[in-house]
Structure 1
Amino acid sequence: MIRRISKIILKSLAVLIAVIALFLAVVFIVNVISSKSEEGKIQSYGQLVPVDGKQMNVLIQGEGAETVVLLPGYGTGAPALDFKPLIDELSPFYKVVAVEPFGYGLSDGTGKERTNANIVSEIHEALQQLDIDHYTLMGHSIAGIYGLDYVNTYPDEVNAFVGIDSSVPTQGGMDAEMPIGLFKFLDKSGLMRVLKKLSGDPYAGLPYGDQTKQQMKMISNKNSSNDTTMNEMKHFSDNFTAAKALKFPEKLPLLLFIQADNTDVESWRTLHEGQVKDSLYGKLIPLEGEHYLHHTLSKEIVQDFRAFMSGVK
């Protein structure tokens, strides 16, 4: 009797393992075929700029006398497309330059370590190639860390820094070990594509056309867990720690938009108030929205930004 039960259990386990293996095989094959198909459907936008022997994609819109340079948050698949609502609001008044760092959007990847210094140097080189030498930096999320390094490295070029729910060096949780191996497995196996499908449309209800949404999804799939962004993730702890030694220059106009009801990071508002208080021209504006504030509040961001800049001139 016991032997019979054991055989039944073993057979059941064998069937289960076979089903899981078949499922993973199908997911893997579908992902390979889908990735190849999507690769041919991705449409170019912006322009490629030579940086450190590679190509960095940059989108420029607007012809204003003053320039705003947009820097994305971590993991934004296609930054220049993601920033579209904000670019459209800014471009009637400014020359807008949306930079897609290596590993993002249509830019190449790189084998260089993703330290603050390397990332900042590459972005600066792209702007130099475009003959852009005076500008406001406007950055989302982790661009708050790179922006700190940037404004201290190139203080004579940056007119102001504007944060869109930007990261702060002293925020908690950034010293945790990141599951890089898991992300790579999910991506290579095709399970990441399945998870994205199950999680629904991330752009539902947002001001993007269907074609733009489709392009962002395909580019996001292309860049998912690539070596460059995984290396950036590996450097999170070191980069945040290095930024703790920096402050925004006292005389640099500093405008920080933050998510008013952020519950993910302890003392989110207090952390940003600490940055603003050290600036002669610092201002903090809480907004009711999600972390990607520019998805739904670009009009308000631009109105407040223009009023702020007119007040510090």
Structure 2
Amino acid sequence: MGQVLKRISWVFIGIISMLLLVITVSFMNHRIQLNREAGLLNPPGIMVNVNNHQMHVYAEGSGPRTLVFLSGGGTSSPVLDFKGLYSKLSDRYRVVVVEKAGYGYSETAEVSRDIDTILEETRSALSLAGEQGPYILFPHSMSGIEALYWAQKYPDEVTSIIGLDPAVPEAYDKYPLPSKFMMGLTGFGARMGITRFFPGIVNSSPAIEENLLTEQEKSVYRAIFYKKTQTSNMNEEVRMIADNARRVAEGGIPEVPMYFFISDGAEIPLSDWKGQLMTYAESAAHGKYMTLDCGHYVHDYEPEIIADESVKYIDGL
């Protein structure tokens, strides 16, 4: 019996040693690659200091309206993710992408991800970058909560919300959020460079897969993905989203015009995602929606349709 336990102990030690070796090699390779990729990561927009951390604000175009794009949770490179859509609108309007803490070119920082802090940081970043409202908000996914809260709290700053498969408060009543352990584990794996062994993950990102980026932009997207996957800020957003959603639900449906572009819901782990968004839009005083036969990143899958519809809608406001 003693010999058996001894062999099991050695096997266990061997497995742990191999795992530590793999993690060490992966981390060293990750650091080397990050240094090589650093030259690709020159912010195309303006860096501003908000709450003692740097935030990136990208803008292009000009016009009578300013459109502000707010990314969904965990989207590593918002500026490139939204490019397929905003590039079709910047000849008529001012378009702005705000990258929150832990996203894109913005710093990962030790800041709360409660809804008030997120919103105030977005507003401060826009102001410091020289942008002026009122704004038409284009929130994707989780940022739908921020956009709705913005319209509740500062209605004079929000002309309209054009939602890109945006989350509504009711969605988080039953949304199966990942556990703290799983987020910590996958976040650790990303920091150790394990994601580099699975290039299919980043290459299947809709902005890349739909060929909305140049080859150079694809390289930048990959570099940002490997640096900014499941950052601590992204994970904290997930941990706080249910509380944030309840806060927004208490404020009711804001009385601003809304137009939701809704996906087929197949990628969302919630059976009635599509129905909830439709119901919310129908319940709004000035709400409408369009359902699309595509995945959650609607702005990557159907940028032409969304751009055309948005122009008609905005010009009619």
Give TM-score, length-normalised by structure 2: 0.88
Give the partner amino acid of 1:278.
Answer: S
Structure 1 contact 134–157 (Cα < 8 Å) conserved: yes
Change (3 A) 1:175 1:237: farther
What's the CA shift for 1:78?
1.4
- 1:113-128 correspondence to structure 2 within 5 Å: 113-128=112-127
Give the partner amino acid of 1:253.
Answer: P
Q: Secondary structure at the match of 1:98?
A: strand
Structure 2 residue 65 is the aligned partner of structure 1 residue 57: no
Structure 2 residue 148 is the aligned partner of structure 1 residue 140: no
Structure 2 residue 163 is the aligned partner of structure 1 residue 163: yes
Compare the two structures and name the one with the higher helix fraction. 2
Q: Secondary structure at the match of 2:47?
A: strand
Give the partner amino acid of 1:134.
Answer: P
Partner of 2:105: 106
Q: After superposition, give the CA deviation of every residue in 1:76-131 in whole Å (9 maximum; x if it has no partner).
A: 11111111111111111111011111211111233221011000011111222314
Structure 1 contact 69–96 (Cα < 8 Å) conserved: yes
Structure 2 residue 247 is the aligned partner of structure 1 residue 242: yes
CA distance in 2, matches of 1:199, 1:60: 28
Structure 2 contact 177–238 (Cα < 8 Å) conserved: no
Q: Secondary structure at the match of 1:235?
A: helix
Aligned CA RMSD, in angstroms, stands at 2.3
CA distance in 1, matches of 2:223, 2:65: 33
Structure 2 residue 300 is the aligned partner of structure 1 residue 298: no
Give the partner amino acid of 1:260.
Answer: D
Structure 2 contact 193–226 (Cα < 8 Å) conserved: no
Partner of 1:307: 312
Change (3 A) 1:121 1:258: same
Q: After superposition, give the CA deviation of every residue in 1:188-238 in whole Å (9 maximum; x if it has no partner).
A: 3332332x4254612234311111111011112212232322222221222
CA distance in 2, matches of 1:94, 1:198: 35
Structure 2 contact 41–105 (Cα < 8 Å) conserved: no
Q: After superposition, give the CA deviation of every residue in 1:272-309 in whole Å (9 maximum; x if it has no partner).
A: 12211222321110111111111121111011112223
The runs of 5 or more residues in structure 2 that have no matched partner are none
Partner of 1:190: 193
Give 1 or 2 for the bigger CA radius of gyration. Answer: 1
**Greater CA deviation, 237-246 or 149-158?**
237-246
Change (3 A) 1:30 1:300: same
The runs of 5 or more residues in structure 1 that have no matched partner are none
CA distance in 1, matches of 2:254, 2:11: 66
Number of matched residues?
Answer: 309
Structure 2 contact 139–147 (Cα < 8 Å) conserved: yes
CA distance in 2, matches of 1:200, 1:101: 20
Partner of 2:34: 35
Give the partner amino acid of 1:162.
Answer: I
What's the CA shift for 1:241?
2.2
CA distance in 1, matches of 2:310, 2:137: 12
What's the CA shift for 1:269?
2.2
CA distance in 1, matches of 2:123, 2:275: 30
Structure 1 contact 175–236 (Cα < 8 Å) conserved: no
Give TM-score, length-normalised by structure 1: 0.89
Q: After superposition, give the CA deviation of every residue in 1:217-273 in whole Å (9 maximum; x if it has no partner).
A: 1112212232322222221222122222133323x1100001025363221222112
Structure 1 contact 105–219 (Cα < 8 Å) conserved: yes
Structure 2 contact 210–300 (Cα < 8 Å) conserved: no
